[in-house]
């Protein structure tokens, strides 16, 4: 199986770039499954049902979110009815939506997509490690599901790495989101799980993590209320990670970064 995960889509620039790129990426990389993190796709804050539909129409198979999942309130009554939209699994019991979804492929195989949110420097949520243990106890990689993709939406690189190693051998891919900056540590861990600390964002990198520079700088240099942050609207770089799996086990055979367009250097799978 060939999988692609695209990092946090930020604003209109990132959204347009990702939607335009997905069909080409599916074709050129012969992809079986695409996951998109869409939590910043609605003007930088949250996601709407309309944008979900646009991602699905472009060829996304599942969408993850993060700490901004509820910024667009219209998502709250929608999320329970979308079987391919994921919010962090370690939100409190009773929160709308799903922390993990099984998405069927045309050939009958299923891919499990799960997400947790980190607790270091973010909200003090339930234990992300235990949340993932609970999810994986109900699924067996290579038996009940053909692949397991885990999105770790977290600030701290150490927390993301710890989760990656804790799941090594039980997930196909553990990939970090939220930081909006791609890391250079794509690797297959010792027991066969593909890992990347952060896939980066799909957005304009002439910015401060996707937001306009002037307002972002002002927030750091002046302790007074200012303008609301707004996404930068220049040409976006589409950032993600590509994984090839062993169809027998569901574990990773190869993992490589993907970066196209915009200001960052291009990265493309060698295979």
Q: What is the pLDDT of residues 206-261, one digit of tens each?
A: 999 999 999 999 999 998 877 889 999 999 999 999 999 999 999 999 999 999 99
pLDDT at 225: 79
pLDDT, position 262: 97
pLDDT at 227 (0 to 100): 86
Provide the token pair at 135: 């999810």
Domain 2-260 has CATH 3.60.21.10: yes
Q: Which of 49, 108, 118, 117 is nearest to 84 (CA)?
A: 49
- pLDDT of 11: 97
pLDDT recorded at residue 125: 95
- Catalytic positions, please? 68
The per-residue pLDDT for 226 is 78
Name the token pair of 51: 């944008």
The alpha carbon dihedral of 197, 153, 119, 217 has a sign of: positive
Give the separation between CA 117 and CA 178, rounded to whole angstroms.
9
**What is the pTM (predicted TM-score) of this model?**
0.96
Q: Rounded mean pLDDT of 97-120?
A: 97
């Amino acid at each position: 199986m060939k999988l692609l995960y695209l990092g946090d889509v930020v604003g209109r620039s990132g959204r347009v770039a990702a939607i335009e790129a997905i069909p080409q990426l599916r074709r050129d990389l012969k992809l079986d499954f695409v996951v998109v993190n869409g939590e910043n796709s609605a003007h930088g804050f949250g996601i709407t049902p309309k944008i979900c539909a646009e991602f699905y129409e472009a060829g996304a198979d599942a969408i993850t979110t993060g700490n901004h999942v509820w910024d667009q309130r219209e998502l709250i009554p929608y999320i329970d009815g979308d079987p391919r939209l994921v919010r962090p699994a370690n939100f409190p019991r009773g929160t709308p939506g799903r922390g993990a979804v099984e998405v069927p492929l045309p050939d009958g195989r299923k891919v499990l997509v799960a997400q947790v949110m980190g607790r270091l420097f973010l909200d003090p949520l339930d234990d992300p490690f235990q949340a993932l243990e609970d999810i994986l106890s109900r699924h067996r990689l290579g038996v009940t599901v053909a692949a397991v993709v885990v999105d770790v939406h977290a600030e701290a690189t150490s927390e993301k790495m710890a989760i990656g190693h804790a799941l090594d051998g039980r997930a196909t891919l553990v990939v970090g989101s939220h930081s909006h900056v791609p890391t250079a540590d794509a690797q297959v861990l010792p027991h066969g799980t593909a890992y990347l600390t952060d896939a980066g964002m799909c957005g304009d990198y002439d910015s401060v993590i996707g937001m306009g520079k002037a307002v972002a700088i002002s927030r750091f240099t002046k302790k007074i209320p200012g303008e609301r942050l707004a996404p930068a609207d220049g040409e976006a770089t589409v950032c993600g990670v590509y994984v090839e799996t062993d169809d027998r086990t569901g574990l990773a055979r190869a993992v490589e970064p993907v970066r196209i367009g915009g200001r960052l250097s291009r990265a493309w799978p060698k295979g």
